[in-house]
Amino acid sequence: MNHKKVKVGVIGCGTICRSTYMPNMVNKFNILDVVGCADLIPERAQAMAEQYGIKVMTNEEIYNDPEIEVVCNLTYPESHFEVSSEAMKHGKHVYCEKMMAVDFSEATELMRLAKENNVMFITAPDTFLGAWEQSARFYIDSGIIGTPVSVHAQHTCSYRPANPIFDLSPDSFFFPLHPGGGLPFDWGGYYLHTMLNILGRITKVAGFGGNYEPNMKYTHPAHPKYGENFFVDTPTSIFAALEFESGVHGTFHLTSESYNSEFFEITGTKGTLLLGNPNNFDGSMVLKRPNMKEKPRGMGVPGGQNGAQVARSQLGEFAMPEEMVLPMLHGFNDGSCRGVGLADMAYALRNGRKPRADAQIGYHAMEVIHGAMESQKTGTTYVMTSPFERPAPLATTIAAGITGQEAVLDD
């Protein structure tokens, strides 16, 4: 199909805009046509405009430009609500980087505004449309691990203001220690979107959340505020138990207050799938299942075997756990494909279908984080209220042809 391109205005020309979105929006996805860009720091918008031959605009000019259909909100989380809500009130469809707001009440208001203004609202991360994430869903839906039983996500690291330029200028503004940017939101979004896309709606959350150390210090002697405290106004840790509508149970552990550890897997009645990094489009998945290889002749016959072999043969099918790296079956596997959710939105607008990265998924993920913190406060299990249905899967490269990456969105 030959579609009229969707005109986009970009607000926020910082790190992710420069490194990924702008090159992808201008050069990778043919359905998109970037008209102009704006930033609180005019030089940033100027630099993008010169590099890509687009207009420098103000936020208001973008909201009021009748040609622009979609506002792409790439500001930091504290500005997401302001920019997305203004755009919606001006009748613009909105694509917003993760997470959609700093808390669940702001997110609820954005969902209301999108409905009231009859606009499409899409939220990142869109990495769940990437190669390994879509392939994981395909394999699990095909029964490769039997019936899914549990999911476990752990991402821990240490965020300390030890850098001498920490927060001194917009160039070194570290949003993960500011409202809406804490690790449960910033990295949690990737894990939650991937879990939801594969396993569906979450019904209950019990957990703990907050900050181990809300009063941090500037710890680099070169910093002008060395030794002074600053208040971290965002949850930096969540430990939660999840129950999915399907009966699957899960754990979700994110903290930026400990040392590095990453772990992501789904277990099932017939095997376990070790998942990739949900921040990346490309990655690898390892399947662990018993008896994937043919048994050597004679196995299972005690005569002539050593003790270990006898023990294994007596354990039956659980005696031979084996591992294999699964091949990727989907496109969007080349390093960074951020913006694929925006391109999908553009095809959804032209084809009159539901977008895959609809804010429903981002809102459900926001509610999980909110639920863990409410559970901590009340000492009870939080019952989820938001609806969620898994978005349509993308066609495999077997079905779509390996070169047809963007074309698979035109459905």
Ligand X SMILES: NC(=O)c1ccc[n+]([C@@H]2O[C@H](COP(=O)([O-])OP(=O)(O)OC[C@H]3O[C@@H](n4cnc5c(N)ncnc54)[C@H](O)[C@@H]3O)[C@@H](O)[C@H]2O)c1
Which residue ranges make up the site for ligand X (CB under 6 A)? 11-17, 38-41, 44, 59, 74-77, 79, 82-83, 97-98, 170, 173, 175, 186
DSSP string, 160-201: ---STTTTTSGGG--GGGSTT-SHHHHTHHHHHHHHHHHH--
Structure tokens at 10: 């970009």
Which of 100, 86, 101 minimizes the C-alpha distance to 38? Answer: 86
Shortest Cβ distance from residue 173 to ligand X (Å)? 5
Rounded Cα distance, 133 and 396, in Å: 12
Shortest Cβ distance from residue 263 to ligand X (Å)? 21
Q: Give me the residue whose beta carbon is nearest to ligand X.
A: 14
Rounded Cα distance, 406 and 403, in Å: 9
**139 versus 281: smaller Cβ distance to ligand X:** 281
**16 versus 177: smaller Cβ distance to ligand X:** 16
Shortest Cβ distance from residue 392 to ligand X (Å)? 24
**148 versus 181: smaller Cβ distance to ligand X:** 181
182: CB partners within 8 A, 6+ apart: 176, 232, 234, 235, 236, 256
Rounded Cα distance, 166 and 230, in Å: 12
* Number of other CB atoms surrounding residue 27 within 10 Å: 10
Rounded Cα distance, 169 and 227, in Å: 19
Shortest Cβ distance from residue 397 to ligand X (Å)? 25
**83 versus 365: smaller Cβ distance to ligand X:** 83
Shortest Cβ distance from residue 333 to ligand X (Å)? 18
**186 versus 374: smaller Cβ distance to ligand X:** 186
**24 versus 375: smaller Cβ distance to ligand X:** 24
Shortest Cβ distance from residue 63 to ligand X (Å)? 11
